[in-house]
Structures are given as C-alpha cells and as structure tokens.
Structure 1
C-alpha cells in the first residue's frame, strides 16, 4: 500500500487507504485498551524504608538523624570514595 500519492493540486498527500487503515488500527487499539481492567496497586507496600524519627522536634533530633545517616554511609557506603566522585 502506498503511503504517499500524487495530489490533484500538484504535490503529494497521504493515500486514503493508508489513512483508513491507520484509523482502523487506532479504533482497535482504543477498544483493546478499554477492555483491560484498570491497573491494580501491589498488595504490599514495596517501600521497606522506615523513617529515622517520625517527627523531629528540635535541632538535637535532626543532628542525631544526621549522625545515624553518616554512620550508615560509613558502614555500607563505597569503600573507596575516589571511585564515586
């Protein structure tokens, strides 16, 4: 099937058959998607992280969180920091 055909105005235009085929495919896609059920949320929360402290109330709490984060970075972070610069 030709996509471009000569127009009676002197240029090229899309062939009627190609446009009809594209529209048919568009309608089929639309119907197929309409039949699908809406996506479901996973049954479990996949985020296994926990907050360090639910509601930090002062600067001391924030400093404690910062120390804990730095400690975890030292434990589990990259052993050679020059590789990750």
Structure 2
C-alpha cells in the first residue's frame, strides 16, 4: 500500500493528528483554538478568528474524520447598523 494512503487511513480516526499533518503539508501551524477543546472530545471554535488559509486543512480533516461526536462552529459577526446592502 502507498505510504501516504496508509497514513491518511490511519490518522482519519484521530482528528488532531490528521489536522496537524495537513497543516504541515501547507506549511502552516495548527490553531490553538482548534486544539483547546479537543481534550473534551469536541471541536468548538469561533469562525471569525480563522484566516482563509486556515480553513483548508480544517475542512479536509472534518470531511474524513469519524472521531468527533460534536462540532460547534460559532460566529459573532453582526452587520453594522444602517447598512443598506446596496
């Protein structure tokens, strides 16, 4: 079996290991906010604090992961008062 396929299959059950691996592939650092709640078995973070480049490894890991019973993504963005949308 190809080593990269075996690695992906083995780490698919462990969210943080796979997330860390995908971050390393794109030369980025795993986010502390993602790591913070994983001890409790949940993923809970504020989406407003993520940059565009942070989403790719996170979403790819969520796509194949079978380990997390709860995923909570929050946003506190509120449009400014008086914004017309025109």
TM-score range, shorter-chain basis? under 0.3
Q: What TM-score comes out, normalization by structure 2 length?
A: 0.26
Higher RCO structure, 1 or 2 (CA under 8 Å, sep 6+): 2
Higher strand share: 2
Greater Rg over alpha carbons, structure: 1
Q: What TM-score comes out, normalization by structure 1 length?
A: 0.26
